[in-house]
Amino acid sequence: MNQAVRLTHFGGPDVVQVEAIAVPSVQDDAVLVKVAAASVNPVDYKIREGKFVAITADKLPITLGRDLAGTIAAFGGSADAKLNVGDSVFAHIGIDRGAQAEYVIVKASELVAAPRSIDLIHAAAVPLAAMTAWQGLFDQGGLKSGQRVLIHGGAGGVGHLAVQFAKAKGATVFTTAGADDLDFVRSLGADTVIDYKAERFENIARDIDLVLDLVGGETQDRSWGVLREGGMLVSTLAAPDQEKAAAHKVRAAPRWMAQPNAAQLREIAELIDAGKVKVEVAETFPLDQVRAAQQRLEQGHLRGKIVLTLE
């Protein structure tokens, strides 16, 4: 059988169950992956609470999880065999499937060879957070070499990758973080590090081309004033107010959600193997402690990602 994190109805952490389900059959161009680790993301508890618009009650039960790392167990009949059975892989998968299970179907178009320089636990921490950071910076934000970016929450799961991606692409990076994480985000390459409790970021960050908001609330509202005219605000939380953007003569990205993109994930794997990006795992939990993992994530103030281990 196949142990999986299952959700049958919405509610608190107690509604999440680890149950045995059938090993999925692999067909067409899909690949069956034996999962070694899967990350825990805010979308997991948002789905659990019934606050994620793409998952309504009529779609339950489901398996939770959006990203994983493991080894190829089997190919579908028409899968492009650039990889082999037993190869280490990682993936950000579509919302139609769940990654927190011992065996998961992954589309060939989502699958990428895992970075050789890190283990599968660290590889599992990458895909969804990396796609969120990458697509927020470059697809939504249009960040280019030589520009100035302010990343709110630079020590978190998405933030610590965003800092490194922006730096790798030649941007000047400002970031906010807590006092305990200032040296950490400096080690990632941030040019200017701001203690968000002790300092007002708007007094330090000026003429910013892009704000990547991973915090929301008052932080987002205070960010309008740091942007240069024509600059861009991108948020992974609440969609920025377009009227406020117009009033400040800047732009705001509409509501968006990170999408699986194997080509982007492959480029990120290359950056990791080149030593330009490091992956921080805050804590690991075995699969049967998924409730505790979600609760820890909801508490916040994490450096890097939480990962479920399945081996």
- Residues 117-162 pLDDT 10s: 999 999 999 999 999 999 999 999 999 999 999 999 999 999 999 9
Measuring CA to CA, how many Å separate 203 from each of 190, 200, 206, 207, 226?
17, 6, 8, 11, 9
Is the pLDDT confidence value at 81 over 70?
Answer: no
- Within the chain, all domains assigned CATH 3.40.50.720 are found at 129-252
Could you tell me the pLDDT band of residue 82, with boundaries at 50, 70 and 90?
confident
| H/E element, 263 | helix 262-273
Proportion of the chain above pLDDT 90, given as a percent: 93
pLDDT value for 280: 98
pLDDT of residue 80: 59
- pLDDT for residue 79: 56
What pLDDT, on a 0 to 100 scale, did the predictor assign at position 150?
A: 98
Range list of H helices, 9-73: 42-48
Helix, coil or strand: residue 141: coil
Q: What is the pLDDT of residues 15-36, one digit of tens each?
A: 999 999 999 999 888 999 999 9
Q: Give the distance between the most distant pair of CA atoms in the chain.
A: 59
CATH number of 2-126+279-309: 3.90.180.10
pLDDT at site 34: 98
Mean pLDDT of the residues in the chain: 96
Q: Which pLDDT belongs to residue 255?
A: 86
Domain 129-252 has CATH 3.40.50.720: yes
pLDDT given for residue 189 in this prediction: 97
Q: Which helix (H) or strand (E) holds 40?
A: strand 30-40
Asked if residue 89 has pLDDT above 60, the reply is yes
CA distance 149 to 245: 17
Give pLDDT tens digits for 242-290. Answer: 999 999 999 999 989 999 999 999 999 999 999 999 999 999 999 999 9
Burial class (CB in 10 A: 0-12, 13-18, 19+), 254: exposed
SS3 125: coil
Q: Is 293 exposed, middle or buried (0-12, 13-18, 19+ CB in 10 A)?
A: buried
CB-count burial class (<10 Å; 0-12, 13-18, 19+) for 14:
exposed
197-219 per-position pLDDT tens digit: 999 999 999 999 999 999 999 99
For residue 292, the 8-state DSSP code is H
125 backbone dihedrals φ, ψ, rounded to 5°: -75, -10
Mean pLDDT of 39-46: 96
Question: Percent of the chain, pLDDT > 70?
Answer: 99
> If you search the block for the tokens 């070694």, which residue do you land on?
36
Per-residue confidence (pLDDT) for residue 78, from 0 to 100: 59
pLDDT for 251:
97
123 contacts: CB under 8 Å, gap ≥ 6 = 37, 69, 88, 90, 114, 115, 279
Q: What is the pLDDT of residue 1?
A: 86
Asked if residues 217 and 300 have their Cβ atoms less than 8 Å apart, the reply is no
Q: Residues of CATH 3.90.180.10 domain(s) within the chain?
A: 2-126+279-309
pLDDT band at 297 (very low <50, low <70, confident <90, very high): very high
Q: What is the pLDDT of residue 106?
A: 96
Average pLDDT (185-190) is: 98
Helix-strand-coil split of the chain, %, nearest 5: 30, 30, 40
Which sign, positive or negative, has the C-alpha torsion 5, 7, 11, 17? negative
Choose the weakest-confidence range: 52-56, 159-163, 194-198, 222-226: 52-56
Residues 6 or more apart from 122 whose CB is under 8 A from it? 279, 281, 307
Q: Which two tokens stand for residue 271?
A: 């950056």
For the whole model, what pTM was predicted? 0.96
Q: What type of residue sits at position 108?
A: A
The vertex-189 CA angle with 184 and 194, nearest 5°, equals: 60
